[in-house]
Amino acid sequence: MPIFYKPKGKLSKKDQSLARLENFRKEISTDCHIIPLEELCHRFSTDPVTGLTSDQAAEVLKRTGPNMLTPSKKRSEILKFLEALFQGLLWIGSGLCYISVLVLYMTSEDNELDMDNVVLGAVLIIVVLVTGSFMYYQERKSQGIMESFARMVPAKATVIRGGQIEIIQSADVVLGDLIDVKFGDRIPADLRIIHCQNLKVDNSPITGESEPQFRSNSYTDDNYLETKNVAFFSTSVVEGTGRACGDQTVMGHIAGLTARLQPNKTPMAKELHRFMKIISVWAVSLGLTLGITCLILGHTLIETLLFAIGMIVANVPEGLLATVIVCLTVTAKRMASENCLIKKLESVETLGCTSMICSDKTGTLTQNRMTVCHIWYNGTVQDVDFNKMKQKKQQQNETEPEKGDVGKNLIRCATLCNRAEFMPGEERKPILQRQVRGDASEGAILKFVESLNLLGSNFKDLNPKLIEIPFSSSTKYQLSVHNIESDRCLIVMKGAPEVILERCSHILHENNTQIMTPEMLNMCNAACLDFAEMGERVLGFCDYKMEPRYTKDFPFSTEPANFPQRGLRFLGLIALIDPPRPQVPDAIRKCKSAGIKVAMVTGDHPVTAKAIALKVGIITDSTIHQFTTMNSVRKFATTINAPGAVVLHGGVLRNLLQDELDDLLFKHSEIVFARTSPTQKLQIVEGYQRLGEIVAVTGDGVNDAPALKKADTGIAMGIAGTEVSQQAADIILMDDNFASIITGIEEGRRIFDNLKKSITYTLASNMPEILPFLAYSFIAIPLPIGVVGILCIDLLTDMMPAISLAYEKAESDIMLRPPRNPLRDRLVNRKLYFLAYGNLGMLEALGAFFVYFVVMAEHGFLPKTLIGIRDEWESHKNLNDSYGRSWTHHQRQVLQCTCYTAVMMSVVVTQWTNLLACKTRYNSLLKQGKSHICDDIENETSPQEWKIWY
């Protein structure tokens, strides 16, 4: 069969959108960071000194368009509102009500108007308008992803055109522009760096790295996201200056991918759609069956139509949609008090059936603040406990630093060789809670040394800095010279341990300065390796007491340096880490006991990611396979049978085939993905979804936005999260705490259980509403209950008890059950139908008929005389009862209204006992205990809110 293709440029809008989406799914492929600068300048027709001319820039702008994110196509808000309103079975029910009214009005001799169906139709319309408006309001709050991206775009950019510095709108930046950036600027486009000085950028929105990253003009990696000679669009310069040449943007890639992704339909939405479809088929089938039977029994076409419409309306659960909305809203409010802000109501239940959590590391599993955790000196490791260390130091005799405590020398060096400062106005706060101006690692060391306070207050001011060599990515150390002890000067240095050790010829060991022997060097390197394997960042410290000729008046110079920089004395190591949140290990244990798998997906280094995964319990297996090449993955897949835990680098993930990724995800429950790009995070989520998992994703950066939107439940951070991630997510954690997710999962499972209870309770009253119509049609008895009675039951007396079940406490084993499988464990299944219709509903119907016949018998119409008298009952002629008394039409109508009331009250009373029967699904009522809706509401609302309920 031939396949016909549309000519290029003739694709439909849908096909064009899909093509763009597939293009955005691909990793960015460019060589702009690899090719020599001369070739790059030739490609963009620019000059590395003078940049483009104004005419060249205008021509390029006309050809390529403005430097801005392409906005997604917006749908009309009116269409969205109408779409939210015009869906569901209630519109059909209201329409049938008015068709019934119209038919009866046109066929009756006195143009009788059926007010019962008029009222019912109006109420159904009100219910659907209110619930539809509420759903539209909830959806409206979740929009604005592209607006959030746009707010990250810098307004101005400093460019060099024709050798002159100009400040222009960032939208006017073009390919080949020479950009000048400095501290505090936002990057106006993806830039190839051609010259910089101590340039640091905050890449956390793109890569998720918590610390500022050094940039240089040297190509360091084939991966566009890893190389150091590229600065990304919308990231911030936190230190230094630089000049760069413009390129296409990673941010635009992420924005396009996020905007065009279509999130999966939630399990709750699928369940409600399925339930409404089943109810529709059931109602229409009953209506058609009744209509055909009535025609066979000789009823007129008009009577048959009225019977069929009445049966369909009786099957419409008028209050169910409102009950579901209220139940979800109640749970969303409860979760808000637990620091989970729900943006999309259906996400409450989706979180409950989550089977896989893909969690970011920084800020979610960890505290997002660097902290000193270990110090190493004198050949031993000391755990940092501020109180114990301070007490220990105070008990020691005060001695000269050179001759006394080794740790004090290390603290002195760490204090002096530190550029971080506390923010003004923070003096009254505890030291660990103060805000710091400076690098995250230096801020952590500042808080550490200030908490110890071993050197006294103002030690840094009493020993002023004479000269400094700042930290840079090329040297990997920071050095400063200080005036101490009258006119003597001291060199202090910190940096990467390997760099510091290379410059040291001595070591302070056992309170003595000794020559650095190979054994000593090996001991230091072993300590560094131990810290690195724990995922800690290690800094080495050394000092050097200068000769007497180096006084504070000496003309120090850094270029060239006129003071010693080698032959220093090694003091020790300080290890820092972004510590796990204390609640996280317990939360992950609860996840695993509930059958939920947890994977870490982070942009950080594999060693750090693995260490944190071990600390929090994501990895518990003693066998850990760490893959850095494709061959190692494929070899592992063919030769290793034991699963074990897996640490996978993003560079390897990029080259995995879909089947290989699915196989890896299926076989291993403990996986850590490190150095992942935004596209790879999306790839991981889609892989788990292909395996049938219900995936929740946590994230806080722009790089997490595509995965957050594609996940079944996207969970963004409320404190550290970017606006883009919060717009793409369904739930926002206001405390950035992973443990709050467990609360959400428990609430999600609870609401699923409680919704099943509410639906069972609601459907049970359908039988005493349906069977009277069947009896009215088939055995021709006077109608036992009217439409208004049905309306009172469904929208008044049943509503509050059904809503009260939303407040029902979770059953004790709710977090010990495996996650709900949406394909098997349905919201409405055969068991629920049997319980609602075949058990509880039939008992209620028997009670309703018993009351009906008793009322009729008390007024003279025995059960045997009621059968077959429907037509005579509804005629305007007089009718004799079982005792021969004559009843007028008006008297019969009064008696029938009495029956309506009695049957309605019978259903209401039996629904009370039904409420008790629906309180639990698994536990016994005695084990679960009883509660009252007012007690629960009073516990969960403020006094002002409590007044509203009354």
Q: Which residues are catalytic?
A: 360
C-alpha dist (Å) from residue 67 to 165, 170, 234, 747? 19, 7, 12, 45
Q: Alpha helices of 26-180 — where are they, by DSSP H?
A: 37-43, 54-64, 77-85, 90-107, 115-141, 145-151
Is residue 409 a contact partner of residue 545, using CB atoms and an 8 Å limit? no
* 3 state DSSP class of 483: strand
C-alpha dist (Å) from residue 702 to 21, 112, 177, 363? 17, 64, 25, 14
C-alpha dist (Å) from residue 330 to 566, 623, 718, 809? 68, 45, 21, 13
CA separation for the pair 802, 915 (Å, rounded) = 8
Q: What is the CA radius of gyration of the chain?
A: 37
Closest CA to 403 of 540, 541, 524, 545: 545
Cβ atoms < 10 Å from Cβ of 66: 13
Is residue 49 a contact partner of residue 163, using CB atoms and an 8 Å limit? yes
Amino acid in position 565: Q
Amino acid in position 868: G
For the record, the structure tokens of 435 come out as 């805000």
Give the dihedral sign, CA 384/388/394/400: negative
Give the dihedral sign, CA 676/679/682/688: negative
Closest CA to 718 of 433, 364, 434: 364
569's CB contacts (< 8 A; 6+ apart) are 504, 505, 506, 507, 508, 513, 542, 543, 544
CA separation for the pair 185, 156 (Å, rounded) = 9
Residue 622 phi/psi, 5-degree rounding, is -70, -20
* 3 state DSSP class of 55: helix
CA separation for the pair 200, 231 (Å, rounded) = 10
Q: Token pair 């019969």 is at which residue?
A: 892
Residue 772 phi/psi, 5-degree rounding, is -60, -35
Please spell the DSSP secondary structure of 298-324, one letter per residue: T--HHHHHHHHHHHHHHHS-TTHHHHH
Is residue 322 a contact partner of residue 132, using CB atoms and an 8 Å limit? no
CA separation for the pair 249, 227 (Å, rounded) = 15
For the record, the structure tokens of 292 come out as 């055909």
Cis bond upstream, residue 560 (ω within 30): yes
Please spell the DSSP secondary structure of 490-505, one letter per residue: EEEEEE-HHHHHHTEE
For the record, the structure tokens of 667 come out as 């076989």
